[in-house]
Amino acid sequence: MRINKFLAEQGVASRRGADEIVAAGRVTVNGKTATLGTEVEESDTVMLDGKILSHKVKYEYYILNKPKGCVCTVTDEKTERPRKTVMELLPAGAGKVFPVGRLDYNTEGLLILTNDGELAYRLTAPQSEIPKTYLVRVEGTMTAVQLNRIRAGVEIEKGVVTKKCKVNVIETDKKYTKLHVVLTEGKNREIRRMFEAVGKHVDFLKRIKVGDLTLTGLDRGTCRRLTPEEVYYLKNL
């Protein structure tokens, strides 16, 4: 198998993250520095930063109700004062897992963590078009024109237009509007930028579903292992 797939199955990173690790020259196969096209067999000795990686992996799967005020990274190395990460919310004894995709610092909701790189790739690859449902609250009311612009796709930066999506108003008055938004892609801060494009500010954002998987029974900031049935469901979305 390709080296990036092997590293993903080891729980080192997603396949995209594995490509970056390989490109940095941190991986060797049988003593030789790996390249992006390197193939790995069971008899090969693969090392990351000088440590041997086993060919046998036990996969772990968690679902987390992410709160505001933490980042979806294994470590926060981009600030002088590291922020809290979602890894700190995992139970004691959890294995070496990583977040599948990202929710930004001020966004709450459903986050999956695993060391199954194939599942992570499937859930985040644009071509998979896995539906993800968000609860959105904006200030004031929204017009039919604004709603239809978002549904049809809006330009969030020069040359970048969002895909068509489902948007349903679930509650509204003069002070705020609550909506359910279903996306099948995952651009950076996409929902906030979509609403900004039609002149609305998002003051609350929470991912509530991935496919039909929900946060039922999970309080904010808590997590649990996914059941075998839930894992099977995600793998067959």
> Which residues are designated catalytic?
104
Is residue 169 within 8 A of residue 179, CB to CB? The reply is yes
Please report the beta strands in 132-236, taking only residues with DSSP state E, as ranges in sequence order.
132-139, 155-157, 160-161, 166-172, 176-183, 202-210, 213-214, 223-225
CA distances from 172 to 71, 150, 168, 191, 206 (A): 30, 17, 11, 18, 17
- Token readout for 141 is 């009311």
Output the CA–CA distances (angstroms, integers) from residue 9 to 97, 115, 121, 189, in the order listed: 11, 7, 11, 28
Residue 56 makes CB contacts below 8 A (sequence gap 6+) with none
